[in-house]
Chain A
Amino acid sequence: MTRLCELAKVIRSKNSKPFTLIFDIIFEGDITYDRVKKFKAINNQVISELYKVPPTDILITWFDEGRAIKITMPRPVPQSSAQDSDQFGGQQYAPLLDIEIPDER
């Protein structure tokens, strides 16, 4: 098993307007991207548990041309609401760092 943060070149989060949160996981090479895609370690269930969002409220797009995964979900609370902790949504990706990806057999 290898942690996602050791495989991905970029892991980031951001608002997409005030009510939606998006995550990008971008890989350097085809081999790493293909391996992560093959093992389906990034899936609605895993993300749902990490972010406490129903699996049906998670959109995962495998962006082959960009060797990247895009995850879209409703923001837990609207930007700048009383409980909002992060105006840009830029520091919400830490739970993704430790997702474990199986090693190639």
Chain B
Amino acid sequence: MTTKRIIAYSPTPKLGLGFPERSLNAALKKGLDYICGDCGGTDSGPYDLGSGENTTHAAEGIRRDLETLLKVSIDQKIPLLIGTAGHAGGDPHLQSTRVAIEQILASNNLHATVAYIHSEQRKEFLKSKLSQGKIKPLNPWGFSKVYPIDNQIIDASNRIVGVMGIEPYMDALKQGADVVVAGRSSDPAIVASGPIGRGFAPGPVWHAAQIICDGTTDGPDRQPDGMIATIYDGSFVVEPADEKMKLPISQLVSLAMHETGSPYIMHLPGGILHTKDCKYEQLTEREVRVTGSRFEPTPYTVKLEGTRMEGYRTVFFGGVRDPQIISQVDVWLASFKALLEENLRSLYGRPLRPEEFAIYFRVYGKNAVMGSLEPIKDTKAHEILVLVEIVASSEEISYDIGMRARQLLSHFDPPSGSKSGNPIAIPFSPQPLRAGSVYRWTMNHVVEIEDHKELQQMFPMELVKY
């Protein structure tokens, strides 16, 4: 027997971006059942997951958003669900979010039961699943490009997370959590878990969740803001949190395009959301009712995200204005690379292996943005930027080679033509610049799950009463 409706609020595209107080107040007036916040994802690359840092959202912004939502959630007894903590959802990210939350609770004298759900995966577990043939490529569209997986790849990964669905959130709520803080999660799962846990039909729940989970930036002032879904058993109504913002059906429908491989089919943990037969009804100029969303359960799989540390990056860059150099830039850089490698061979007494040292050139004004896909083969630019990137196995070697390379290129004439002796215009010093550690994604795979117990083992939960 389900309650008649559930109202879920997603305050902002990502916690840390902020959201208007008036939108929060408008949402609260409706009588909320859940507040759901997504903190991250893979858009900014593997660095955050690999390093354990959050280089995407400032700590102070996250703290501010957490404090606002925790106060409201605890005061008004509205469960607060937060996913992909710390932007990447690994254990260090979860831990730094936990520290922030504990400080907020203590300094505001707030008391609540908080569930922390981990998403990092043990290598032995994954290798065991691999040996059983239970790790498969993630390839929903059947592309021919498939990435390998083996024990070596698992071992070489410095961090691997599983992307959790609704089940760990549902378990946490069932065990009395007022606040759920989870590692890496499917964005819509953060919103869907409450209503599905209370028996609402999954199709409309997942569809509503997909629409609202990333808030909105389509308000009149283009600032991060929230979305609200009123979910019924079989349909839902979405509206912006901002009371003045309109929501025409065309805008809602364009949200279906957002970040998905298909506007009609969305692959989710445990199933597929079908929206082709949906009907959209403009109830008011800011509310749209949706019916016809269908969820098709599929054998349960958990997506894996893994990183490995490849080395340390050093960069330098400078402009070129001489058309003679620009017209032979590839030849010029290839000759420079050959000379640098020869110098390094002398210095180290042997050639450096690719895993010890690599050098990359990005020529802006020619083909840096599209690389080999760039259809325009000859640039007509009157100036170009050459960005030189060195990746080496230690920070000292990376910086040392960076310094040598910058010195060398700064006075390296191309094989023919220009004899200026100063082919690049470096804009400032110091260069080169230390550019941090280099992380790569290691897998594009899912692991097949036996049962709920296995999910609980993959996503262990700690329940803490404050």
Q: Does B141 contact A (CB under 8 A)?
A: yes
Chain A residues whose C-beta falls within 8 Å of the C-beta of B371 in the assembled complex: 76, 83, 85
Q: Does B47 contact A (CB under 8 A)?
A: yes
A: number of interface residues (CB 8 Å): 41
Q: Does A17 contact B (CB under 8 A)?
A: yes
Nearest-neighbor residue (CB-CB) of B45 within chain A: A80
Chain A residues whose C-beta falls within 8 Å of the C-beta of B264 in the assembled complex: 61, 63
User: Does the CB pair A66–B257 fall under 8 Å?
Assistant: yes
- Chain-A contact segment, one of B74-82, B422-430, B438-446, B451-459: B438-446
Complex Cα distance, B444 from A79, in Å, reads: 11
Q: Does B99 contact A (CB under 8 A)?
A: no
Q: Does B151 contact A (CB under 8 A)?
A: no
User: Does the CB pair B262–A72 fall under 8 Å?
Assistant: yes
Q: Does B253 contact A (CB under 8 A)?
A: yes
- Chain-A contact segment, one of B234-242, B362-370, B400-408: B362-370
A18-B46, A72-B141, A87-B44 are contacts. A80–B440 as well, Cβ < 8 Å?
yes
- Chain-A contact segment, one of B142-150, B221-229, B413-421: B142-150
Nearest-neighbor residue (CB-CB) of B255 within chain A: A66
Chain A residues whose C-beta falls within 8 Å of the C-beta of B43 in the assembled complex: 15, 87-88
Complex Cα distance, B262 from A14, in Å, reads: 13
Q: Chain A 31-61, CB within 8 Å of chain B: the 1/0 string?
A: 0000000000000000000111010110101
A70-B262, A70-B263 are contacts. A18–B441 as well, Cβ < 8 Å?
yes
Q: Does B254 contact A (CB under 8 A)?
A: yes
Residues of B contacting A: mostly: loop
Q: Does A104 contact B (CB under 8 A)?
A: no
Partner of A19, one of B362, B391, B444: B444
A14-B259, A18-B46, A85-B362 are contacts. A79–B441 as well, Cβ < 8 Å?
yes
Q: Does B466 contact A (CB under 8 A)?
A: no
Q: Chain A 59-89, CB within 8 Å of chain B: the 1/0 string?
A: 1010101101010111010111111011110
Chain B residues whose C-beta falls within 8 Å of the C-beta of A24 in the assembled complex: 257
Chain A residues whose C-beta falls within 8 Å of the C-beta of B262 in the assembled complex: 59, 61, 70, 72
Q: Chain B 7-30, CB within 8 Å of chain A: the 1/0 string?
A: 000000000000000000000000
Complex Cα distance, B354 from A82, in Å, reads: 12
Of residues 138 through 176 on chain B, the ones whose CB sits less than 8 Å from some CB of chain A are 138, 141, 143-145, 147
Q: Does B256 contact A (CB under 8 A)?
A: yes
Complex Cα distance, B262 from A101, in Å, reads: 23
B: number of interface residues (CB 8 Å): 40
CB distance from A2 to the nearest CB of B (A): 19
Chain A residues whose C-beta falls within 8 Å of the C-beta of B254 in the assembled complex: 26, 66, 68
Complex Cα distance, B260 from A59, in Å, reads: 12
A26-B257, A61-B262, A78-B441 are contacts. A85–B370 as well, Cβ < 8 Å?
yes
Chain B residues whose C-beta falls within 8 Å of the C-beta of A59 in the assembled complex: 141, 261-262
Complex Cα distance, B43 from A79, in Å, reads: 9
User: Does the CB pair B261–A22 fall under 8 Å?
Assistant: yes
User: Does the CB pair B144–A56 fall under 8 Å?
Assistant: yes
Complex Cα distance, B369 from A88, in Å, reads: 11
Partner of A80, one of B253, B368, B439: B439
User: Does the CB pair B257–A80 fall under 8 Å?
Assistant: no
CB distance from B408 to the nearest CB of A (A): 21
User: Does the CB pair A74–B42 fall under 8 Å?
Assistant: no
A74-B143, A76-B373 are contacts. A16–B253 as well, Cβ < 8 Å?
no
User: Does the CB pair B370–A74 fall under 8 Å?
Assistant: no
Chain A residues whose C-beta falls within 8 Å of the C-beta of B369 in the assembled complex: 85-86, 91-92
Given contacts A52-B373, A59-B141, A80-B47, 9 further A-B contacts (CB under 8 A): A18-B42, A24-B257, A57-B143, A57-B144, A72-B261, A79-B46, A85-B370, A87-B43, A92-B370
9 contacts between A and B (CB under 8 A): A18-B441, A61-B264, A68-B263, A79-B46, A79-B441, A80-B47, A81-B440, A82-B360, A94-B370
